[in-house]
Amino acid sequence: MSKFRFVVPNLFTSLSLTGAFISLYLIAESLYVQAGLLVFLCMVFDFTDGMVARKLNAMSSFGATFDMMSDFVAFAIVPGFLLFRVSLIEIGFIGAVVAIVYVFSGCYRLIRFYLNDTHSHDKSSFIGLPIPAAASFLSSLVIFFLVHYGINPHPVLLAILMVFVSLLMVSRIEFMALDEKGRVSKFTKYFTLVAVLSLVVFHRYYYLSFFFWLFLYIVYHLLRYFVKVLAGKSNIAEG
């Protein structure tokens, strides 16, 4: 039984990796909305595996490495390929470079987290935009344009946003974690509750809810960061 508890979180990681593989297949078949929705499902599995591992005290080096490799495929490779096939392919070499920049930024973000934060399970924040949020935001953007407008996002707009998200991932900006010491944080509880309620009430416009809440998550932390920077400069000036 003691060994079995290590298997449970890895099962969720396996589900995330399986979803990523299916998503790649869907992209190859030009089923972009379904592929984007699977990215959200992978994010749920990714959150669950870490939470279950902490609840069962089943954290291990193997699990952390497995999780990182799974995240790289699900949140770096899949979104990079999705956005390239949907729109960036129209601007050729530049589009390919932008997609590769995103993939490398995601890889850097994962490795930095693995090296710096693997043994710090009580942190209530992350440095840099978490890659699941980055991947989900970009996927929600694709879904929004395809479902709401029935067109592919403009390649230049998509390239700019993709580079911006890549910069956020490698930045030193602080983003709140979804859990604190193995427990779901108050921020996450309220944020998730309102987001789920909006999905229920506006279920016909689920794609808009996904995009709106992820956009709000990013904007909130950017504003929070700039307020802190301005407050710090003000304190220095007063000193």
* pLDDT value at residue 122: 47
pLDDT over 70 (residue 106): yes
Residue 102 near residue 162, CB atoms below 8 Å: yes
Matching residue, tokens 């396996």:
14
Q: What is the CATH number of the domain that holds 133?
A: 1.20.120.1760
pLDDT over 90 (residue 76): yes
The band of 100, judged by pLDDT with boundaries at 50, 70 and 90, is very high
Residue 33: both structure tokens together: 């909305």
C-alpha closest to that of 188 among 148, 133, 143: 133
Q: Please count the structural domains in the chain.
A: 1
Q: Which of 81-85, 86-90, 111-115, 157-161 has the lowest mean pLDDT?
A: 111-115
pLDDT over 70 (residue 58): yes
Residues 6+ apart with CB under 8 A from 105: 166, 167, 169, 170
* pLDDT value at residue 194: 65
pLDDT over 50 (residue 119): no
- pLDDT tens track for 177-224: 765 554 555 556 666 666 666 666 666 666 677 788 788 889 988 998
- pLDDT tens track for 3-51: 667 777 888 889 999 999 999 999 999 999 999 999 999 998 888 877 7
Q: Can you tell me the distance from the alpha carbon of 129 to that of 217, in angstroms, rounded to the nearest whole number?
A: 10
Mean residue pLDDT of the chain comes to 83
* pLDDT value at residue 9: 82
Task: Report, as an integer, the average pLDDT of 98-126.
Answer: 80
If DSSP codes are grouped into helix, strand and coil, which group holds residue 96?
A: helix
* pLDDT value at residue 229: 83
* pLDDT value at residue 123: 57
Other CB atoms within 10 A of residue 140 CB = 24
* pLDDT value at residue 148: 82
Query: Residue 186 is part of which domain span?
Result: 4-238
Residue 191: both structure tokens together: 């944020």
- pLDDT tens track for 128-180: 899 999 999 999 999 999 988 888 889 999 999 999 999 999 998 888 776 55
